[in-house]
Structure 1
């Protein structure tokens, strides 16, 4: 049998393991239940992939994230390792065929969501598989105190009954002390080996700055650190706006969010990964499977929802172990905006019940029906019809998704169906007269043989790949053909696909999960309070605040965060700064940014001096936000 290092070298081309990986693998190979807490960038997947490759049989991987499952299967396929994922939207026959492949096709990895374990027939099929390891990824989801609790994870313990000799490996990147104990208990892990790597990232300088003009602050950071950078924002509009503003300032920037097509995501990510773009502006949709070692700076320009997410996102900086920066910019109004964004949009039981009943009516699902049905769903249209607030409704749908009641697949694509309504000779004649459109039309005809007989749903990304045209160009060609009466063209825009995993039972359904909703809402409030403490605390090392949140109470000051740097600096004389500002304003009116560029002192000290000068009526501020000497 090959050694763990030999497997690592053969398939992943690495000569050695990262910290704790070898010990975790050895524990699994000894057949022990194992708990592994490896912070972001710690290489969790290697911990189950390597031992699974060393043993006969197949590794069962339970994961809550479809995108992560697809990403890992794709990466394994590239290494010629056979893997399958049972993702949403598959019919029973398709799932059965895939499980046949696992049983007889020498597959090494089977990925599925915890919701699949609620089907007795799937459990029966799993019993027939030669399972050598059960890996539970994102294991914090099993804890009611975790930041993304999913009740379906509570069913995983039932696998112990059928696979009592097979080791469990629970993996997470973020778990407090309370959550760690709960995970081990809820999974029924016995004589468990616990491996926990410290959350400390001693090469990352955690910086928190109060900044009214955030774009100006970003500009200064990026000029000082021209290496690859990530800027996290909260929504798609901010993605586009921030990237556009940076481009206008001369920075090479692109963007990434869940609303882009697969080809756009791939193109934008590649331009940043290949360093054709310095900056990628992204929502939290960006990050899964991203392992770029030389990210110098991660900047958040809006408050994150919780410390867990902030730690994971900021932890994408400095994976090459060189000094890097995690910068959080905030303004005095941000806490109020965060409350409006994260807390006021939380659905309560009454709203969830009302929304669920209207959703079933909207999709024409009768009481007692709906299970395994698949629906195209436009969120904005639904909210408009019933006058529901969009964010609160989206959060309610996400909650139902996490509880396994529905599966919400965000696709954000245009569904296109086409049928040619003239004979093939006329199409050939048209192509000869319009050679620029020939590659698109020819690609469609080659890939859809029945397109003359009935409408065919087109895969635009496939046509784009085959023809060399962009998806938008393909749409233009199709619209032109439709206008000329050559084809019958239909396009339907859907935000998402909804799959109902249960029959409709209205209040009975909601009553069953409402206790989790109340607990989730309370926890989200506590998590946001921890973020506000991190931002506003001016008396504690920022790294220590993060480590304390995760239960590491004996950490020392890091020496490189914004607090530690400010402590090392000699305090500026408020009187001397005020004198400098007064001298500057004698010759011209200036805004705060211009003053900061001319007065070489910390921004906080300058803001304090400006406030003192205004309070004492020495200076005043005009409607144009420029400061002048007081006329009184």
Structure 2
């Protein structure tokens, strides 16, 4: 009789399962509804892929992540397994053809988003398929107490009634006890078998360091750990800047973000995977399906939005079981900056109502109309017309998309792309000869450092705001520069499209969904508070703080995090430290960094000792900004 290990070996070339994969698989094979909480890197997909291959019929996989659906379907195809993903770009006829293939073509996996289930004809067609298992990935999305609630997930319960004899497997990488109970209830799971893998990573040292000069600290970390590393940043600009800074200092660095073309993504990924580049500088777009076992260090140089995301990204280090490091670099301004980026831009009920009404007016949709209609849409122009903050308005559109009121065709991309064809010194020369263009050009150069290397999306509203010019003046200048072959320049009239999934009913629509907005805002504020608690708590083990956040209370100090190491350090003795610094300066002048490195003092301790010695007239600063004895 075929065993799960046989399938694992045949298709995935692994001899053994990780805990608790095999128990989950056997529960599913026994026909039981099953709930599985497995942290990132735990191998969730194997838990439904193996049992599906052991049975007749097809496995239905529901996932909100289009990129992950496509990635998994392609990986299965490479292993000789037939899989189909119903992604957003398909026409009705194409979907119908693919569902016919599922029914008659010996396919083993059908991936679709929960929004597809809102189309009744698709749900009816699914009922005709020989479904052997329904796998619900990112199952926390079904709970309004989860960090990523999507009302479309509530429709999955309809499948449970349509397929009463088919086992359901709910999978998530992050869920509190309350969310777990909500998942079970909302999906209608019947006496589910529950499996939980601890969030503990015994080989992963969680480090939080204060750093005024983060680039310097990064270099110290990379020098000490020359193995593959990931540096997470918040935006595309930081991606290019950080990678360029590291390259200029002699480190092999590449970058990855959602704005790159597929060829660039693949090439940059290849450089890093083949270890021709030590460092991958990336936004959170990097990580889906990434499984490089020997990542030694994951460094965050800006605060994460929540600990769920941080745990997931940090967890990409040390998957080979060897000691690895998850480093978070912070400075005093980080909390205010991050609060401004994540919390201050959360829309309230009134802003939601205003944006929804103005959106319908902007697109000239009459009351009671609009359902099924698709419109080209330019976010920057919409925000300019109504004087809306762009990020805050975009958050409203994302929320309306998650609520199923409308569908964003894709993530917004900027409507202008620019690449300079001549070196920077020639551009500076052009600026000196054309002072009228100076402010606009400098705004582009300062905000988009990658424009010399690749086609770069730029925000026209940002450039016009920074330069004090109009959008027409900017477009005229760019067209002139293209004619002179100084740049390549492309402009699109719209940067996305919106499809309305219901008729316009302002009060009714907002009253129905506003409660979810308020709940989500409350959750996001609490999550951010948890991030602040994690970085600022200096009296608890970092690993324990993370585990307790995920409801694991029976924990012990890890012994390897920044807190545990600091606790094991000898007590700070100012007199001894001062003597050590004086002895060092007797040999030669040193700057503060050199003193910190050679004495083993922390940055704070070094500053304290230097101030003490300066106040007591023992040392002075020379013209090279080095300390020397008086």
Please classify the TM superposition score into its range, dividing by the shorter chain length: 0.7 to 0.9
Equivalent residues in 2 for 1:262-277, closer than 5 Å: 262-277=262-277
Of stretches 564-573 and 289-298 in structure 1, the one that deviates more from structure 2 is 564-573
2: distance between equivalents of 1:611 and 1:529?
34
The alpha-carbon deviation at position 403 of structure 1 amounts to 1.5
What's the TM-score once normalised by structure 1's chain length?
0.83
**Are 2:321 and 1:321 equivalent residues in the alignment?**
yes
- SS state at 1:22 partner: helix
1: distance between equivalents of 2:171 and 2:559?
31
The alpha-carbon deviation at position 491 of structure 1 amounts to 6.1
Equivalent residues in 2 for 1:184-199, closer than 5 Å: 184-199=184-199
CA contact (8 A) 2:371 2:502 kept: yes
What's the TM-score once normalised by structure 2's chain length?
0.84
- Cα 1:22–1:582, aligned 2, differ >3 Å: closer, same or farther? same
CA contact (8 A) 1:138 1:172 kept: yes
CA contact (8 A) 1:117 1:123 kept: yes
CA contact (8 A) 1:117 1:155 kept: yes
**Are 2:217 and 1:217 equivalent residues in the alignment?**
yes
The alpha-carbon deviation at position 51 of structure 1 amounts to 0.5
Q: Which residue of 2 aligns with 1:462?
A: none
Q: Which residue of 2 aligns with 1:101?
A: 101
Q: Deviations over 1:520-575 (max 9, x none)?
A: 11111110111111101111111010001011111111111111111111113123
1: distance between equivalents of 2:611 and 2:171?
50
CA contact (8 A) 2:345 2:392 kept: yes
- Cα 1:524–1:588, aligned 2, differ >3 Å: closer, same or farther? farther
CA contact (8 A) 1:87 1:112 kept: yes
CA contact (8 A) 2:588 2:628 kept: no
Q: Which residue of 2 aligns with 1:410?
A: 411
The alpha-carbon deviation at position 621 of structure 1 amounts to 11
CA contact (8 A) 2:7 2:54 kept: yes
- Cα 1:230–1:528, aligned 2, differ >3 Å: closer, same or farther? same
Q: Which residue of 2 aligns with 1:476?
A: none
The alpha-carbon deviation at position 246 of structure 1 amounts to 0.4
CA contact (8 A) 1:411 1:497 kept: no
The alpha-carbon deviation at position 578 of structure 1 amounts to 3.7
Q: Which residue of 2 aligns with 1:527?
A: 527
Gaps in structure 2 of 5+ consecutive residues: 418-452, 456-478, 484-488
Q: Which residue of 1 aligns with 2:56?
A: 56
CA contact (8 A) 2:298 2:314 kept: yes
- Cα 1:397–1:574, aligned 2, differ >3 Å: closer, same or farther? farther
Q: Which residue of 2 aligns with 1:113?
A: 113
CA contact (8 A) 1:7 1:50 kept: yes
**Are 2:299 and 1:299 equivalent residues in the alignment?**
yes
Q: Which residue of 2 aligns with 1:71?
A: 71
The alpha-carbon deviation at position 176 of structure 1 amounts to 1.6
The alpha-carbon deviation at position 204 of structure 1 amounts to 0.3
Q: Deviations over 1:202-248 (max 9, x none)?
A: 00010110000000000000011111100001111100000000001
2: distance between equivalents of 1:143 and 1:505?
26
CA contact (8 A) 2:591 2:627 kept: no
Q: Deviations over 1:280-336 (max 9, x none)?
A: 100111100101111000000011011100000000001111110000000011111
- Cα 1:86–1:415, aligned 2, differ >3 Å: closer, same or farther? farther
The alpha-carbon deviation at position 149 of structure 1 amounts to 0.8
- Cα 1:72–1:625, aligned 2, differ >3 Å: closer, same or farther? farther
2: distance between equivalents of 1:413 and 1:389?
16
CA contact (8 A) 1:410 1:495 kept: no
Q: Deviations over 1:451-485 (max 9, x none)?
A: xxxxxxxxxxxxxxxxxxx997xxxxxx9xx99xx
The alpha-carbon deviation at position 379 of structure 1 amounts to 2.8
The alpha-carbon deviation at position 37 of structure 1 amounts to 0.8
- Cα 1:383–1:591, aligned 2, differ >3 Å: closer, same or farther? farther
CA contact (8 A) 1:298 1:316 kept: yes
1: distance between equivalents of 2:367 and 2:625?
64
The alpha-carbon deviation at position 109 of structure 1 amounts to 1.0
CA contact (8 A) 2:305 2:527 kept: yes
CA contact (8 A) 1:301 1:330 kept: yes
The alpha-carbon deviation at position 609 of structure 1 amounts to 3.3
Q: Which residue of 1 aligns with 2:554?
A: 554
The alpha-carbon deviation at position 261 of structure 1 amounts to 1.2
The alpha-carbon deviation at position 611 of structure 1 amounts to 5.7
1: distance between equivalents of 2:226 and 2:513?
49
